[in-house]
Structure 1
Amino acid sequence: MVNSEVSWQDFVRKKKEQQERLLSTPKNDDANQNNDLSSTTMSAPTTATTPESLYGRRPHILLGVTGSIAAVKGPRLALRLANELKANVKVVLTRTVEQYFWKEGRAVPTYDRENWIDFERAVATSKRPDEDEKEHTTDWKLTSGRISIHYAEEEWNDYKSLSDSVLHIDLRNWADICVVAPLSAHTLGKIANGLCDDLLTCILRAWDFGNTKKPIVLAPAMNTAMWEHPLTNMQLKTVKSLGREEGKDAVVVVQPVAKTLACGEVGVGALAELDDIISTTKQCLTHMIGNVSVI
């Protein structure tokens, strides 16, 4: 936890002073153009190295998993976010993931079987009260954070009357950060054009994009031809522009990587390494987004 001598208020004050000094110093645009997250001018106090220590509680991560073949990595990513960042993670699935990729994964977890089993245990354990954990020593440890799943049609299926809470607003308010990994070309297009026909896109349609304290991390995954299509670049720029205010970016894109894709072709478009997605998420949580630009 944060040392009592280094309060969050002190951290914010020091960052403001740092920004004022930077603004008063002449800059060379070429020298300062750096797209690496590690170059951000926002840094946490040396005594506060984890998101949990800054928030004073477990960070709340909303993980959107959309219809890319890389969705099969969703369980492992959720487990690692909960374990490595000590976060509570709510996983929101789109229809394609729910009906195809994860349905098959549950039935025949031939890919990453061990993580699929651990994920199911984590979700089941997270439904139990904290005091029950001691009775299930072989299950997921709640000290690593809770994991739960929400489905595309859940809001409509569960909504019964005007007095019911609105799920997409509840989740939007709950989350400290939204990570969409993988982000498919289809869902990217919907976000960029303001469409909201499932739970995840409703959450993002209501998201406070101008608030750098509620950042979004996008990790696209698609075929090379789709990634290199002019519309993809336009749509990413549109979404990023929604989160840009006063030189700060509240939307960070983790670039896809080059490898052999599901179609058999070799090219850029594969989901970034999970290490990079987790590292970016941690930096966004602890830095509250500084002068960051990834694309």
Structure 2
Amino acid sequence: MAQENSRLGPAEVVAAAQSDGKAHLLLACTGSVATIKIKQIILGLADYQNLSIRVILTASAAKFLTGENDEQPSLAEVRAMPNVDAVYLDEDEWGPQPWRRGANILHIELRRWASLLVIAPLSANSLAKVAGGFSDNLLTSVCRAWDTTPQADGTRKRIILAPGMNTQMYRHPVTARHLKVIEEDCGGPDGWIEVLRPISKALACGDVGDGAMVEWGVIVAGIEKRLGLTRVEGGAP
């Protein structure tokens, strides 16, 4: 992992990295056990040397990264993974220096920096927030500030959502409404959001049914497609 400049605040560091010539992946996890799949997603992109990854973890997502076994990485392990230049928690929005007028704002700088935002997993709670336009943490602030026109950033950048939740949460009529809002108002060929619908499998809670996040390989393939990453046979990408 590249070492960030500790003399600058998080927002200033992101602003300084805007024009580094790399593809920029903003990878976010929310409060679902599928957060532990972040390891496979990042390692699935490890061969791309011209890729910079910045990770956002909600408070609930961070609780799954305890490093108890090989499947469940620690926060320190995620920070040290290939191409990961930073991991952000909610408190990074406001620190470490006190807020001052005219200072860089982290959620705005992350939006400007990102070539693509991927939220995998997207919990039922965070799905509701995205659909309703809430912006009460770092991740949802990035989503709400996304350039949908695109007038600010000059290009329409994509968001990929990979929901992951309990079967009954997924089958709840409120979830259906939230997905309908996102897919009809923000998706399609003229939109900016792509939803990777959950699959059916045995869930961590013991239930068997739909609601599980798609396999990590599908997410990696979506990232490769949207960022135009290509593998060179017999050599590094």
Q: TM-score range by the shorter chain?
A: 0.7 to 0.9
Match of 1:88 among 45, 52, 59: 52
1:167 aligns with 2:106: yes
Any residues of structure 2 matched to 1:97-108 within 5 Å, and which? 97-98=61-62, 100-102=63-65, 104-105=66-67, 108=68
1:155 aligns with 2:81: no
Distance 2:215 2:48 in 1: 15
Structure 1 unaligned segments of length 5 or more: list them: 1-54, 125-139, 288-295
Partner residue, 1:189: 128
Deviates more, 1:149-158 or 1:218-227: 149-158
Query: Secondary structure in 2 aligned to 1:153?
Result: helix
Q: Which has the larger radius of gyration?
A: 1
Given that residues 83 and 145 in structure 1 are in contact (C-alpha distance below 8 angstroms), is that contact kept between their aligned partners in structure 2?
A: no
> Could you give the per-residue CA deviations for residues 237-293 of structure 1, whole angstroms, max 9, x where no partner exists?
212344347x42321111211111111110011111111011112222239xxxxxx
Structure 2 unaligned segments of length 5 or more: list them: 1-18, 230-237
> Could you give the per-residue CA deviations for residues 186-222 of structure 1, whole angstroms, max 9, x where no partner exists?
0000111111111000000101234473101000000
Of Structure 1 and Structure 2, the greater helix share is in: 1
- CA change 1:184–1:121 in 2 (3 A) is closer
Of Structure 1 and Structure 2, the greater strand share is in: 2
Match of 1:261 among 203, 213, 216: 203
Q: Over aligned residues, Cα RMSD in angstroms? A: 2.6
1:177 aligns with 2:120: no
Given that residues 148 and 156 in structure 2 are in contact (C-alpha distance below 8 angstroms), is that contact kept between their aligned partners in structure 1?
A: no
Query: Residue 72 of structure 1: CA displacement?
Result: 1.3
Query: Residue 91 of structure 1: CA displacement?
Result: 0.4
Partner residue, 1:221: 164
Equivalent residue pairs, number = 206
TM-score normalized by the length of structure 1:
0.63
- CA change 1:195–1:176 in 2 (3 A) is same
Q: What one-letter code is carried by the residue in structure 1 that aligns with 2:191?
A: D
Query: Residue 77 of structure 1: CA displacement?
Result: 1.6
Partner residue, 1:238: 181
Any residues of structure 2 matched to 1:1-295 within 5 Å, and which? 57-84=21-48, 86-98=50-62, 100-102=63-65, 104-105=66-67, 108=68, 110-112=69-71, 116=73, 120=76, 123-124=79-80, 145-158=83-96, 160=98, 161-211=100-150, 213-244=156-187, 247-286=189-228
Distance 1:266 1:185 in 2: 18
> Could you give the per-residue CA deviations for residues 80-138 of structure 1, whole angstroms, max 9, x where no partner exists?
2343584211000001122x212x23xx2x1426xx37x846734xxxxxxxxxxxxxx
TM-score normalized by the length of structure 2:
0.77
